[in-house]
A and B are shown apart, each in its own frame.
Chain A
């Protein structure tokens, strides 16, 4: 990708964001994840954590420690920016870690699929067609956010992509599987939410007691399987 489009800017005095673009695409997301992983492996004095998003990577750091270790640079921001730029130069397509494919069983019964009727009607399809289209694709986990373990996945087929609800529901059951435009996601916890709910899964997306507390990680692939 063209490095000239990359923007690096402070996210407060203790973090910076490397923004690759403002679009959702798999190759760009792969770059964002690879950069986050490489920075984390490499680390540096004062490094706190790196967070990949759709098309950006944010690096959090302890600015006082960074300044102490890079006294020749005017700011910690400059030091971390240099580190990020150097890692960027060495990134290539082979850096992409092998993604896992995770199958998730989804119930599309009437009590789980709160908005299936609405989506079907809005898109001129039968509920069975919506389920068929929804479950025929493999979705990429672009990022996690909003809730512990909440995944932003894509891309949903244009035929069923539906904007989020005008006014969010005050409470959605844990495990609700929804779409918002071309995104799909799973409510890992009971939560307010505005996505169109097509079904519900019993799979635990968030297991606090586990060393790896979320089932899915950025870069994973997900297939939804309709429960019979």
Chain B
């Protein structure tokens, strides 16, 4: 069972939830930028949440199913058409052998995910299927897809019919071209001038076109430190917002380096990383600072709701 890549799209890679345990060796986790989208469609298909998926950008690939398969799309809406018919996100779709999956236009978001029921056959590297584009390893041959590549799918023991089950609307991220993203203060937030602390949350930033899976550069009114800081390199995280010497900000994304030496003014909360991850060049973002247990509560509440969805999917599968 396989999918043939007829056209590769601009940047299509294999990702999962990331490669952990190796940051101390300079090996960053990589993984899906919009981890919520990939988890949702994997759960919907009855897969392990960490099952490898395709992460697609626009222009997106053109794919041919070389066998019957059930798949699901999530994240960005690229106007998917299977065999000429619009299929949407967040549901199970049955593909017949020979069906062509195309993406007609960029409706919302910048990263779309494709999961197949049963998962793709990917040799893990250090426990993960994610693509490390710097070291050219992991995922599919350590690289983005090219025309003529063939992705193997694990044999499905169960039916190749699509199930009508749905994802509850409250779980699906509400993407926007101008989201407000919640942040928590970073280790050097207090070192900003009072004016810059205000400016961080009171202005709108524009995503620069020098933005990619490593980092999003933000354009805005420059921020400043009250006094110069001597910084030495320390670990960074997905969502770390660093202050560059010119006063502009960079948000480290899924392929960001494991360590950095710029002031860490804030961090995007996990719950809102997908909203940021779906932005593209010239989109805008505003930040809202939250404190105390609120950032953690957001994650705990989301996981609780997700666990209901997971149980529901399992029950439904067992009833068959």
Contact = CB atoms under 8 A, between A and B. Distances in A.
Interface of A: 7, 9-15, 17, 19, 22-24, 36, 48-56, 58, 60, 63-64, 67, 74-77, 143-150, 152, 188-189, 191, 206, 208, 213-214, 217-218
Given A22-B230, A51-B235, A67-B300, 13 more contacts: A11-B186, A11-B264, A12-B238, A13-B299, A19-B187, A58-B235, A64-B303, A74-B292, A75-B292, A145-B257, A145-B260, A149-B25, A214-B27
Nearest to A206: B135
B26 A53 contact: no
B24 A49 contact: yes
B125 A208 contact: yes
A174 to B, nearest CB: 11
Contact of A36 (B24, B125, B293): B24
Nearest to A205: B26
Interface residues of B, number: 45
Given A12-B267, A77-B296, A146-B259, A53 B303 contact: no
Interface stretch (B1-9, B15-23, B68-76): B15-23
B137 A208 contact: yes
Give the top 3 A-B pairs by smallest Cβ distance, nearest first: A145-B259, A58-B235, A12-B267
Given A11-B240, A17-B235, A147-B134, A49 B23 contact: yes
A139 to B, nearest CB: 16
Contacts of A22: 230-232
Given A9-B187, A208-B137, A149 B26 contact: yes
A53 B230 CA distance: 15
B295 interface: yes
A54 B295 contact: no
A60 B23 contact: yes
Contacts of A56: 234-235
Nearest to A145: B259
A75 B300 CA distance: 11
A69 to B, nearest CB: 13
A148 B300 contact: no
A12 B240 CA distance: 7
Contacts of B125: 208
Contacts of B300: 63-64, 67
Nearest to A55: B232
A36 B235 CA distance: 12
Contacts of A214: 25-27
Contacts of B298: 13
A56 B236 CA distance: 11
B20 A60 contact: yes
15 contacts: A7-B187, A10-B184, A11-B186, A12-B268, A13-B299, A48-B21, A50-B24, A51-B235, A52-B24, A53-B259, A67-B300, A74-B293, A144-B26, A148-B132, A213-B126
B270 interface: yes
Contacts of B293: 74-75
A213 B27 contact: yes
Which of A14, A50, A189, A191 counts the most B-chain CB atoms under 10 A from its CB? Answer: A14
A139 B21 CA distance: 25
Interface in B78-127: 125-126
A213 B24 contact: no
B233 to A, nearest CB: 6
Nearest to B258: A145
Contacts of A188: 26
B270 A11 contact: no
A75 to B, nearest CB: 5
Given A64-B299, A188-B26, A14 B270 contact: yes
Contact of A13 (B24, B126, B269): B269
A36 B134 CA distance: 26
Contact of B233 (A11, A145, A148): A145
Contacts of A36: 24
Nearest to B142: A208
A13 B257 contact: no
B248 interface: no
B239 interface: yes
Nearest to A215: B25
Nearest to A50: B24
B211 interface: no
Contacts of A14: 237, 270, 299
Interface string B258-274: 11100010011110000
A53 B235 contact: yes
Given A58-B235, A144-B24, A63 B230 contact: no
A150 B235 contact: no
Given A145-B258, A189-B135, A217 B267 contact: no
A13 B267 contact: yes
Contacts of B303: 64
Interface string B232-257: 11111111100000000000000001
Contacts of B295: 13
A13 B135 contact: no
